[in-house]
Amino acid sequence: MDPKEQRKKHFRRLLTYIKPYRLAFIVAVVGMVGYAGVDTFFFYHIETLIDDGLGASNPKILLYGAIFVPLVFILRGIFNFVSSYFLSYVGFQVVTNMRQELFEHLMRVPVSYHDNMSTGDLISKITYDTQQLAEATSRALLTMVREGAFVIGLLGLMMYHSWQLSLVFLLIGPVVGKVVAVVSRKFRHVSGNIQTAMGNVTTTAEQMINGHQVVVMFEGQKREAKRFAEINQVTRRQNLKLVNIRTISTSIIQLIASLSLSMVLVIASFPSMLEGLTPGAFTTLLTAMIMLLRPLKQLTNVNADFQRGLAAAASVFEVLDQKREVDTGKRSVERARGELNFKNVTFGYVAGDEPALKDINFHVPAGKSVALVGRSGSGKSTISSLLTRFYDYETGSIELDGYDIREYSLKSLRRQFAVVSQNVMLFNDTIANNIAYGARGKVTPEAIAKAAQLAYVDEFTDNLPKGLETMVGENGVMLSGGQRQRIAIARALLRDAPVLILDEATSALDTESERHIQKALENLQQDRTSLVIAHRLSTIENADEILVLDHGCIIERGSHAELLEKKGSYAQLYQMQFGGSV
């Protein structure tokens, strides 16, 4: 699409966010026009004060003027308050709604989109870009309407007193328009660079904060400081470039206006012109011309704000235009039996690269367990990601209870799974709320306590002053790895789903805790289908079937005893972990 058409499209789209608050916006516009009208009205009466007051030595006019001036400024203040308040109200509503929409949309885009995007860049769009959009456009609209109305009022006043002299100022309009058009392109380009730079600042800062211990441990302070300084300097240069463009364009426009003013004074010096102007009229005309310089400067600067707002809008709309997860499934079940079937499934993360899974076939009857073992990168976790439709496979089919999982709605499908991953995600909330996260309906404290007991969370919470009401800190920073994993297991226990996905569920636990939780998981796995991904082979010895994966292919399958008898890859892995001959 043509860039000009793209900008128009973004502007029209922005107006849809203002539409619900059009009444408040109209009141703001009335306030802005009223503000400009009061200023014009004040200048209009300068002629009366000079000619009828001072010129005719009429003290009554001057006394009326003494009363008139404060009233004018009171009215001016009222209009200023109305315009500023209601425009700010609309601006804050727009940024709040857009930020909320952006936040909710990011939860509904495919996982693959988040894989390819920097977290810091997305955070910058939610925080910085939306704020820039609201501030820039609000400030731009305020200046555009208020100063635009003031310019029209001043030009009308000038035409009223002397249309011949006013024509000189009208002739500079096209020249000013050309200057504005040239700098607009620069504003848009630099504003886009600033938004990219701010995204990089957020990303770099986020990486340092999240990896603070790694940075300190490996003496990376200087490296990180240098990296941040480079990005910070880019941001500074881009902001400085924006200021330079704004300052130069304003100076050029004011120079053009001052030359016009000089020309007006030259023309006014002709005797024929002087005869037709009273001192009051000439003073009013000259004052109006001088006062035009300020709104012309403001209207030039507003272009920078407006272009920055449009650049921010383009950045936000780019995310909002990302397609959501494909959810065409209509099938909905309250609770599935849990039978799983993989038929000739092939999947690759990136088109053209070697597939992560190649022609995968296996069947898990309801209530049975299957374990996936293999080296890192063999495709074990990919299988669990396909089951929950974080990614969509290319060929073959995956069935739940005999129906392709794509026939289920995403909400209904994911309700059938409880996942315990090796990377536990905890929210900055209480332990109890983290356990209850994702549970269906209202959860009682007794149910939370029961799940905590089964997962042996109570072993460490009983020693905490607030027990289950203890705050865990950001991503459970206040807890050990084993404690975080126990909370994740308790969360899965409380969810009570028919299918369990255990991805290294006991990897961060000490031997004693592992025994306790293994017993709890065995109880939980009864009458439930389990997909267990494990490096520790001791945790999967009782699985109904074990699949050995390598480079995305199933190279062995069978029970623990059967695979040891084959003396193949599984037997080699077992020997490496436990030593001795098999």
pLDDT at 111: 84
Q: How far is CA 63 from each of CA 54, 442, 540, rounded to the nearest angstrom?
A: 12, 74, 99
* Residue 474 neighbours by CB distance under 10 Å: 12
One-letter amino acid of 70 = P
Sequence-separated (6 or more) residues with CB below 8 Å from residue 255 = none
Q: Could you tell me which CATH class the domain 328-415+540-582 is placed in?
A: alpha beta
pLDDT at 110: 85
At 246-256, the pLDDT tens digits run: 777 767 766 77
At 267-310, the pLDDT tens digits run: 666 666 656 666 766 677 777 776 776 776 667 667 667 777 77
% of the chain at pLDDT higher than 90: 6
Q: Would you list the domain boundaries of the chain?
A: 9-320, 328-415+540-582
pLDDT at 362: 92
Whether the Cβ atoms of residue 504 and residue 423 lie closer than 8 Å to each other: no
Q: Could you tell me which CATH class the domain 9-320 is placed in?
A: mainly alpha
Indicate whether 324 pLDDT > 90. Answer: no
Whether the Cβ atoms of residue 442 and residue 435 lie closer than 8 Å to each other: no
% of the chain at pLDDT higher than 70: 76
Q: Round to whole Å and give the CA distance between 204 and 120.
A: 7
pLDDT at 216: 64
Annotate 409-448 with DSSP letters as a single string.
Answer: -HHHHHTTEEEE-SS----SSBHHHHHHTT-SS---HHHH
Query: What's the pLDDT band for 65 if we cut at 50, 70, 90?
Result: low
